[in-house]
């Protein structure tokens, strides 16, 4: 991992709106198929409605019609304190009465700025409309209004978050944001410029056009903690919809290409093998800085040493500096692209720490943040965690049960990175394939050992034990893929749950993992869209063991997936 805030979201889930008012199922007559334009000079009750209910879930407010107002040709949503009700805050949601299908949607808006809140423009339909939950989101998080988050859901399954750097502060002036929704893809626009295309699991059901402003609860890892500041406002000038697509007078330049590695050598395209008998200054460098964020140490060259044919990273106390600990990071000077990467290493064992092998590039290289991780968490060295990031978007964590203790002996760990997939290996055996949002930018090969801070739910609390060491025997890279003399048996099946009771709490679809797909199934069950889970076993779904399955179990699963709690 390198210079980043761990995305404790997982991205995998997050906004899960529950719109409580019962509405008729979408019929053809209710779907608008002609151009639609709304300039917000006043409240048009024939076309729009002001929400007057509460969503619940992560929305820590009640919607009140009083919080939707019109002034100087703008529609204004106001978040304020609520007294004497079930929620501490009240805010506004404005939505169409009609449904809209494929086409181009655009809003001109100015977002609210404050940690813990969201200003949004989106389409939604769901169980309250007697439809599947299909949704397309443009969301500006108040904690960082220089970015916009795009996301979408099909039948309740999301996990498609993408963050785009705007190049301006969305809370300072009005800008246009839009998306063109078609079968098979969604193109997202900012100020008339196409900036991102999504092609995975695209929604199909017409939805209502909506805007809202809301404070979160239980999602501090995503939105940041809300400090209770009020009033806050988000302003909207207009909404437009064109069923035939982006109008001709709207600029539609080609999407910006992924930035190339600049001012760096051409990515290595030949076999590369490093056996760690000594420090090769031609190929490698020792980090001499601090990452900050969740890394509670400073990198020091003194913490990278060589002994008995091994490179050793040592985590120890640091005296008189800005950090309580110092440790080592070893990295190549060159960049490497698609191919097979392998390390032979022995991890450190202690709660609160990480021993890693990974590729990384990012803003420090004038590149997007692309990364592929093999991480062994010191709290459980019988597992390895795989993960990857594309343009700063992660949430792809997968835990593989090793069948051995990675801190007791040397083992090989590797990955083959190709356009469209990453295959992960342990001791020459392919154990997992990832296919979603695969990185594309060449990166440097890196290894580090570090203690965490503020991520106890993920790593466990670090107890300050020192010194701790992680040892590395070699690193290999083969651009043509796994070498022929490396065993490549069929991937192992998903590991059997290790809780010793024959089932895994929360894995209601029985695929061996607990993730956003299970979360979506819980939502559908609680909303009575389905009447049983694929794994029809109360012991699996009843997370708090109270003999029933309800929103308390859903809340516990959400907290687990966001790493607020370490286990179910």
The answer on 288 and 225 residing in a single domain is: no
Which range is least confidently modeled, 25-34, 48-57, 554-563? 25-34
pLDDT for residue 238: 95
pLDDT band at 446 (very low <50, low <70, confident <90, very high): very high
- Is 371 noted as a catalytic residue in this protein? yes
The answer on 407 and 533 residing in a single domain is: no
pLDDT for residue 334: 93
Residue 528 has pLDDT above 90, yes or no: no
Residue 384 has pLDDT above 80, yes or no: yes
Contact 345, 410 (CB under 8 A): yes
493-506 tens-digit pLDDT: 333 333 333 467 88
Residue 541 has pLDDT above 90, yes or no: no
Helix axes 516-526, 551-561, angle to 10 degrees: 170
pLDDT for residue 562: 67
pLDDT band at 555 (very low <50, low <70, confident <90, very high): confident
Locate 239 and state its tokens.
């909404």
- Is 567 noted as a catalytic residue in this protein? no
The answer on 447 and 405 residing in a single domain is: yes
The answer on 292 and 181 residing in a single domain is: no
- Would you give the distance in Å from CA 23 to the centre of its chain? 32
**Of 192, 227, 242, which closes a domain?**
242
67-115 tens-digit pLDDT: 999 999 999 999 999 998 899 999 999 999 999 999 999 999 999 999 9
> Domain range holding 174?
29-242
The answer on 235 and 306 residing in a single domain is: no
Count CA atoms closer than 13 A to 137's CA, side-chain side. 28
**Of 242, 264, 297, which closes a domain?**
242
285-328 tens-digit pLDDT: 999 988 877 899 999 999 999 999 999 999 999 998 788 999 99
For residue 335, being part of any structural domain is answered with: yes
pLDDT for residue 8: 37
Locate 386 and state its tokens.
């795989």
Catalytic residue among 161, 180, 375, 397: 375
Locate 297 and state its tokens.
């140490």
Measure the CA–CA gap between 159 and 485, rounded to whole angstroms.
38
The answer on 546 and 456 residing in a single domain is: no
pLDDT for residue 273: 92
Count CA atoms closer than 13 A to 89's CA, side-chain side. 26
Residue 208 has pLDDT above 80, yes or no: yes
The answer on 435 and 374 residing in a single domain is: yes
Residue with tokens 């007697």: 130
Measure the CA–CA gap between 100 and 23, rounded to whole angstroms.
15
175-191 tens-digit pLDDT: 999 999 999 999 999 99
pLDDT band at 475 (very low <50, low <70, confident <90, very high): very high
For residue 500, being part of any structural domain is answered with: no
pLDDT for residue 531: 66
Terminal CA-CA length for the chain: 26
pLDDT for residue 292: 79
Torsion of CA 212, 215, 221, 223, to 10 degrees: 50
For residue 266, being part of any structural domain is answered with: no
- % of the chain residues with pLDDT over 70: 86
The answer on 412 and 323 residing in a single domain is: yes
**The domain spanning residue 521 has which CATH number?**
1.10.1330.10
**The domain spanning residue 381 has which CATH number?**
2.60.120.200
- In this prediction the pTM is 0.46
pLDDT band at 27 (very low <50, low <70, confident <90, very high): low
pLDDT for residue 521: 78
Contacting residues for 388 by C-beta, under 8 A, at least 6 apart: 371, 372, 373, 394, 396, 422, 434, 437, 438, 439
For residue 16, being part of any structural domain is answered with: no
Which range is least confidently modeled, 26-35, 246-255, 468-477? 246-255
The answer on 533 and 455 residing in a single domain is: no
pLDDT for residue 21: 35
Higher pLDDT, 387 or 4: 387
Residue 267 has pLDDT above 80, yes or no: no
The answer on 238 and 276 residing in a single domain is: no
Q: What letter would DSSP give residue 545?
A: -
> Taking Cα atoms as reference points, which of 272, 288, 294, 191 lies closest to residue 563?
294
Average confidence (pLDDT) over 320-345: 94
Which range is least confidently modeled, 47-61, 210-224, 542-556? 542-556
137-158 tens-digit pLDDT: 999 999 999 999 999 999 988 8
Classified as helix, coil or strand, 351 is coil
For residue 169, being part of any structural domain is answered with: yes
Q: How many domains are there within the chain?
A: 3
Classified as helix, coil or strand, 144 is coil
pLDDT band at 533 (very low <50, low <70, confident <90, very high): confident
pLDDT for residue 355: 98
For residue 22, being part of any structural domain is answered with: no
The answer on 290 and 208 residing in a single domain is: no
Contacting residues for 341 by C-beta, under 8 A, at least 6 apart: 357, 359, 372, 414, 415, 416, 417, 445, 475, 476, 477
Classified as helix, coil or strand, 326 is strand
Catalytic residue among 106, 371, 397, 416: 371
For residue 302, being part of any structural domain is answered with: yes
Higher pLDDT, 80 or 392: 80
Q: State the chain's mean pLDDT as an integer.
A: 85
The answer on 197 and 84 residing in a single domain is: yes
Measure the CA–CA gap between 367 and 264, rounded to whole angstroms.
11
For residue 497, being part of any structural domain is answered with: no
Which range is least confidently modeled, 2-11, 228-237, 343-352? 2-11
pLDDT band at 219 (very low <50, low <70, confident <90, very high): confident
């Amino acid at each position: 991992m390198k210079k980043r805030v761990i995305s404790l979201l997982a991205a995998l889930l997050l906004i899960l709106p529950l719109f409580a008012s019962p509405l008729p199922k979408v019929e053809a007559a209710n779907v608008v198929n002609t151009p639609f334009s709304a300039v917000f000079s006043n409240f048009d009750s024939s076309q729009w409605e002001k929400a007057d209910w509460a969503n619940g879930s992560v929305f820590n407010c009640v919607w009140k019609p009083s919080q939707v107002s019109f002034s100087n040709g703008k529609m204004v949503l106001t978040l304020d304190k609520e007294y004497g009700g079930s929620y501490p805050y009240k805010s506004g949601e404005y939505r169409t009465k009609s449904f809209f299908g494929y086409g181009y949607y655009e809003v001109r808006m100015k977002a609210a700025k404050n940690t813990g809140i969201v200003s949004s423009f989106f389409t939604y339909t769901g169980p309250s409309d007697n439809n599947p939950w299909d949704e397309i989101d443009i969301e500006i998080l108040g904690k960082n209004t220089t970015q916009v988050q795009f996301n979408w859901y099909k039948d309740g399954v999301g996990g498609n978050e993408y963050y785009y750097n705007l190049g301006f502060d969305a809370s300072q002036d009005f800008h246009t944001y839009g998306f063109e929704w078609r079968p098979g893809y969604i193109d997202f626009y900012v100020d008339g410029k196409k900036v991102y295309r999504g092609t995975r699991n695209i929604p199909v059901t017409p939805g209502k056009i909506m805007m809202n402003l809301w404070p979160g609860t239980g999602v501090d890892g995503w939105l940041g903690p809300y400090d209770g500041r009020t009033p806050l406002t988000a302003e909207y000038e207009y909404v437009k919809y064109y069923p035939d697509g982006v109008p001709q007078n709207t600029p539609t330049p080609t999407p910006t290409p992924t930035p190339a590695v600049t001012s760096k050598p051409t990515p290595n395209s030949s076999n590369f093998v490093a056996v760690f008998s000594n420090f090769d200054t031609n190929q490698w460098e020792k980090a001499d800085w601090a990452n900050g964020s969740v890394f509670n140490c400073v990198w020091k060259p003194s913490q990278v040493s060589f002994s008995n044919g091994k490179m050793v990273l040592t985590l120890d106390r640091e005296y008189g500096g800005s950090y309580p600990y110092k440790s080592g990071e070893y990295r190549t000077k060159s960049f490497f692209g698609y191919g097979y990467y392998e390390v032979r290493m022995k991890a450190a064992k202690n709660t609160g720490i990480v021993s890693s092998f990974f590729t990384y590039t990012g803003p420090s290289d004038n590149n997007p943040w692309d990364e592929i991780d093999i991480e062994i968490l010191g709290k459980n060295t019988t597992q390895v965690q795989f993960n990857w990031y594309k343009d700063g978007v992660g949430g792809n964590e997968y835990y593989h049960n090793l069948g051995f203790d990675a801190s007791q002996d040397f083992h090989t760990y590797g990955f083959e990175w190709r356009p469209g997939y990453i295959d992960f290996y342990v001791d020459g055996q392919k154990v997992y394939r990832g296919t979603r949002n695969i990185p594309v930018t060449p990166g440097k090969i890196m290894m580090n050992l570090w203690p965490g801070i503020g991520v106890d739910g993920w790593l466990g609390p670090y107890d300050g034990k020192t010194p701790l060491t992680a040892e590395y025997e070699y690193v290999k890279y083969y651009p043509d893929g796994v070498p022929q003399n490396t065993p490549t048996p069929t991937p192992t099946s998903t590991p059997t749950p290790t809780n010793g009771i024959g089932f895994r709490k929360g894995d209601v679809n029985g695929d061996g993992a607990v993730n956003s797909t299970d979360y979506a199934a819980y939502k559908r069950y609680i909303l009575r869209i389905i009447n049983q889970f694929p794994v029809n076993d109360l012991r699996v779904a009843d997370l708090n063991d109270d003999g029933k399955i309800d929103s308390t179990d859903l809340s516990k699963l959400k907290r687990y997936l966001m790493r607020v709690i370490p286990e179910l």
